[in-house]
């Protein structure tokens, strides 16, 4: 599964807005939108934060 689909599904599963998840991850809502829309992929910092919030990363 790609990051954009995985991220969007997990955010919706938790019933979080983009702004809420962006705050939890320590990134801007614009960065999160780019990840969810497949424009960019999370860097090492983003991947670390995603793993901290969701406990896993997509394969």
**Structural domain of residue 50, as residue ranges?**
3-54
Rounded Cα–Cα distance for residues 46 and 42 (Å): 5
> Domain for residue 59, yes or no?
no
> Domain for residue 42, yes or no?
yes
Which are the contacts of 59, defined by CB distance < 8 A and separation ≥ 6? 1
**What is the number of structural domains in the chain?**
1
CATH number at residue 39: 1.10.260.40
Per-residue pLDDT of the chain (59 residues; tens, 9 = 90+): 688 999 999 999 999 999 999 999 999 999 999 999 999 999 999 999 999 999 988 87
Rounded Cα–Cα distance for residues 47 and 18 (Å): 16
């Amino acid at each position: 599964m790609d990051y954009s689909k995985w991220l969007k599904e997990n955010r919706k599963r938790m019933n979080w807005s983009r702004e809420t998840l962006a705050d939890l991850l320590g990134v801007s809502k614009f960065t999160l939108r780019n990840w969810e829309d497949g424009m960019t992929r999370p860097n090492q910092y983003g991947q670390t934060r995603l793993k901290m919030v969701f406990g896993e990363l997509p394969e």
